Amino acid sequence: MKDQIDCRIGGGEYLRFSLFREGRPLSPMGGNFLYVKEDGGDGHQVVFAGQTDNLALHAQERWSEAQGKFGVTGLYTRLNITTAVRRREHSELLEALDPPMNAGEPRPGGKAASDGDGASAGGF
């Protein structure tokens, strides 16, 4: 897996995420995080997008589920201490990537994502 990935959100802005390496501690700071699986060649799929006030406590809460159901292989994080910015970026990531494990979560404008199979969701 790549050490860093850039995810494009609305307006053409890119958000950079760094790969969490096993054996290293996750930061206790606030941030956004992604569960990612390889999708053949250089392709990747974002399966889940989350945000928390403490990455060390919460970034791996759904990891086992994501591995079992989707075969994720990478946890990527982005430090983001400011709650309002973190929530805005999370909302924009959901809108842009439509991760299958986030199905049913509210989207901008009060819409919820479809509960489809997510086959084309989450590319970057």
In a domain, 124, yes or no: no
111 vs 95: CA distance, rounded Å: 10
Place of tokens 């890119």: 14
Report pLDDT for 45. Answer: 94
In a domain, 82, yes or no: yes
Report pLDDT for 26. Answer: 94
Fill in the DSSP letter of residue 86.
H
Sheet holding 31-38, edge to edge: 4-8, 14-19, 74-79, 31-38, 44-52
Sequence-ordered list of residues with C-beta below 8 angstroms from that of 93, at least 6 positions apart, any chain = 7, 9, 15, 32, 34, 46, 49, 99
DSSP 56-84: HHHTTTTHHHHHHHH---EEEEEE---HH
In a domain, 117, yes or no: no
In a domain, 118, yes or no: no
What domain count does the chain have? Answer: 1
- Structural domain including 72 reads 4-110
Amino acid letter for position 81: I
In a domain, 31, yes or no: yes
Report pLDDT for 99. Answer: 97
Q: What is the pLDDT along the chain (124 residues), one digit of tens a residue?
A: 899 999 999 888 999 999 999 889 999 999 999 999 988 777 889 999 999 999 999 999 999 999 999 999 999 999 998 999 999 999 999 999 999 999 988 776 655 554 433 322 344 4
In a domain, 91, yes or no: yes
Report pLDDT for 121. Answer: 34
Q: Which CATH number do you get for residue 34? A: 3.40.1440.10
